[in-house]
């Protein structure tokens, strides 16, 4: 549901804030930052669900570790939650995800930002929508982060998420899929079961998914990594 007045938000305003956020990244690229492979901490040991718990979704599929990957079995919605410490801002997450079968999102990543939470949807709404839920009470199929992408079953995709106080960037492989400035925006989760994924969780919907190489690292406040 759209927030009152959101439908009348001028298009130029959205363009300006996107450019503003991108400009901040360019100006800060020279700031002291970890090297590309520095500071990453594993969240998955490749053999067990240590540090994770199964998200208690109704109608969920089976969660297991097999062949060095986490398998989210097809269910109404199936997921895992990280149970250890996790930053609230100024961090990056990266992982690899695969849709094995099904036609909806195979990597719905719920994460903290600006005192609330968002979900980065990959492959939703019939299998192709990428975006953030929710911005200004609009979900990933409605707000300006929404885009369509074809995902091949059985193919690994590299996902990388950057969260700072001012906004969010996200990459699929080497493609910058999301670049959004969040100051003065209403940020929150889509009402419903995804609330159970807080504070950091990964879920699939009606889809069997595989996850591996899940890592995160904290970033200096105000810092940004240079673009890949």
For residue 16, give the 3-state DSSP assignment: helix
Largest Cα–Cα separation, the chain: 50
pLDDT tens digits, one per residue of 10-19? 333 344 444 4
The pLDDT value recorded for residue 37 is 81
Q: Is 156 in contact with 227 (CB distance < 8 Å)?
A: no
Classify domain 6-218 at the CATH class level: mainly beta
Task: Name the residue with tokens 């890949």.
Answer: 228
pTM for the whole structure? 0.84
> pLDDT tens for residues 18-47?
444 454 443 343 334 567 788 999 999 999
Would you kindly state where each structural domain of the chain is located, as residue ranges?
6-218
Tell me which residues of the chain have a pLDDT lower than 70.
Answer: 1-34, 222-228
């Amino acid at each position: 549901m759209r927030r009152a007045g959101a439908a009348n938000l001028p298009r130029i305003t959205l363009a300006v804030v996107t450019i503003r956020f991108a400009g901040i990244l360019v100006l800060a690229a020279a700031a002291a930052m970890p090297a590309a492979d520095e500071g990453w901490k594993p969240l998955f040991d490749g053999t067990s669900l240590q540090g994770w718990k199964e998200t208690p979704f109704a109608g969920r599929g089976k969660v297991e570790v097999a062949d060095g990957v986490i398998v989210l079995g097809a269910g109404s919605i199936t997921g895992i939650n990280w149970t250890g410490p996790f930053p609230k801002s100024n961090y990056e997450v990266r992982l690899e995800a695969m849709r094995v079968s099904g036609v909806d999102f195979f990597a719905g990543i719920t994460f903290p930002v600006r005192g609330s939470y968002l979900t980065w949807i990959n492959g939703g709404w019939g299998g192709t929508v990428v975006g953030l839920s929710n911005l200004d009470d609009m979900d990933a199929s409605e707000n300006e982060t929404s885009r369509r992408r074809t995902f091949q079953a059985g193919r690994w995709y590299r996902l990388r998420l950057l969260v700072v106080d001012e906004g969010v960037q996200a990459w699929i492989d080497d493609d910058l899929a999301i670049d959004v400035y969040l100051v003065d925006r209403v940020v929150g989760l889509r009402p419903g079961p995804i609330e159970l994924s807080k504070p950091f969780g990964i879920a699939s919907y009606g889809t069997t998914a595989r996850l591996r190489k899940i890592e995160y690292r904290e970033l200096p406040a105000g810092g940004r990594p240079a673009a890949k």
